[in-house]
Amino acid sequence: MKTLYLLLFMLVQQAMSVFGQLLLKIGMAQASPFTWTWRNVGRLFLNYNLQIGLWLLIAANVFWLWLLNKYPISLVYPLISFGFVFSVVSGILILHEQVSPLQWIGVSLIMAGSLCLIKV
């Protein structure tokens, strides 16, 4: 049962992290073309996608710290691989990116290896 909770918590933590990164990507696309000038840097602080993305990443990292405190790192850290799946799927569905079959094979191998480390 403890393993099931760990899987659930990691799914939530990685979803928060990937969604935060996705919002950063969208926010930076809105800021394009970006140059390091005071005006452009100031506009970044007004971009709501960047603001929400940063807050999500902060929350995901606080949640990550809690997971590290609660579970062994040998179980928790490999489960970061859920983020690979979430990022590929969100890239396809939200950003309309193309993913090759070889990339899917790579993500599948990473997930299979990570799941081998969990005592189900």
**What DSSP letter does each residue of 54-65 carry, written as one string?**
HHHHHHHHHHHH
Token code pair at residue 1:
């049962």
Closest C-alpha to 87, from 99, 101, 75, 73: 99
Q: What is the pLDDT of residues 65-114, one digit of tens each?
A: 999 999 999 888 888 888 988 999 999 999 999 999 999 999 889 888 87
CB 20 within 8 A of CB 53: yes
Token code pair at residue 20:
């935060």
Q: What is the pLDDT of residues 9-57, one digit of tens each?
A: 999 999 999 999 999 999 988 887 777 777 777 778 788 999 999 999 9
Q: How far is CA 26 from the centre of its chain?
A: 14
Q: Please report, for the chain, the start and end positions of each structural domain, with discontinuous segments joined by +.
A: 2-115
